[in-house]
Amino acid sequence: MDGVTRIERSLETAVAMADAADAPPRLAAAMRHAVFPRGARVRPRLCLAVAAACGEDAPALTDAAAAAIELLHCASLVHDDLPCFDDAAERRGRLSVHRAFGVPLALLAGDALIVLAFQTLAQASEGLGARLPPVLAAVGQGVGVPHGIVAGQSWECEPVAALEAYHRQKTGALFAAAAAAGAASAGAADLAPWRIFGERLGEAYQAADDIRDVVAEPDEMGKPAGRDAALGRPSLALALGIPAAVQRLEELVAVAAQAIPACHGAAELRALVRSEARRLTPRSLSRSAA
Amino acid sequence: MDGVTRIERSLETAVAMADAADAPPRLAAAMRHAVFPRGARVRPRLCLAVAAACGEDAPALTDAAAAAIELLHCASLVHDDLPCFDDAAERRGRLSVHRAFGVPLALLAGDALIVLAFQTLAQASEGLGARLPPVLAAVGQGVGVPHGIVAGQSWECEPVAALEAYHRQKTGALFAAAAAAGAASAGAADLAPWRIFGERLGEAYQAADDIRDVVAEPDEMGKPAGRDAALGRPSLALALGIPAAVQRLEELVAVAAQAIPACHGAAELRALVRSEARRLTPRSLSRSAA
What's the ipTM? 0.93
Tell me which residue in A115, A122, A145 faces B18 most closely, judged by beta carbons: A145
Residue A23's CB: how many other CB atoms inside 10 A?
20
Distance between CA A140 and CA B290 in Å, rounded? Answer: 51
- Indicate whether B125 pLDDT > 80: yes
- Indicate whether A285 pLDDT > 80: no
Interacting residues of B45 by C-beta distance below 8 A, sequence separation 6+: B3, B4, B7, B66, B272
- Indicate whether B200 pLDDT > 90: yes
CATH T-level assignment (fold) for domain A3-283:
Farnesyl Diphosphate Synthase (1.10.600)
Q: What is the pLDDT of residues A51-76, one digit of tens each?
A: 999 999 999 999 999 999 999 999 99
Please indicate if any CB of chain A lies within 8 Å of the CB of B17: yes
pLDDT at B289: 47
Residues of chain A with Cβ-Cβ distance to B131 below 8 Å are 129
Amino acid at A13: T
Interface probe with B: pick from A31, A78, A87, A145, most Cβ of B within 10 Å: A145
Domain boundaries, chain B: 3-278
**Per-state percent for chain A, helix, strand, coil, to nearest 5:** 70, 0, 25
Confidence grade of residue A289 (pLDDT, cut at 50, 70, 90): very low
Please indicate if any CB of chain B lies within 8 Å of the CB of A132: yes
Q: Tell me if B137 sits within 8 A of A138, measured CB to CB.
A: no
With a CB-CB cutoff of 8 Å, which residues 71-90 of chain B face chain A?
A: 75, 79, 82, 84-85
Distance between CA A175 and CA A166 in Å, rounded? Answer: 14
Q: What is the pLDDT of residues A2-11, one digit of tens each?
A: 899 999 999 9
With a CB-CB cutoff of 8 Å, which residues 34-73 of chain B face chain A?
A: none
Mean pLDDT for the stretch of residues B126-150: 95
Residue B269's CB: how many other CB atoms inside 10 A?
23
* Rg over CA atoms, chain A: 18
DSSP designation for A144: S
Please indicate if any CB of chain A lies within 8 Å of the CB of B154: yes
What CATH code is assigned to B3-278? 1.10.600.10
Tell me which residue in B17, B114, B153 faces A146 most closely, judged by beta carbons: B17
Helix boundaries (H) for chain B: 3-15, 25-35, 42-53, 59-80, 97-101, 103-124, 132-143, 149-154, 163-167, 173-185, 192-215, 218-221, 227-231, 236-240, 242-258, 266-280, 283-289
Distance between CA A148 and CA A158 in Å, rounded? Answer: 16
> Given the DSSP bridges, would you call strands A90-91 and B94-95 parallel, antiparallel or unpaired?
unpaired
Please indicate if any CB of chain A lies within 8 Å of the CB of B12: no
pLDDT at B49: 94
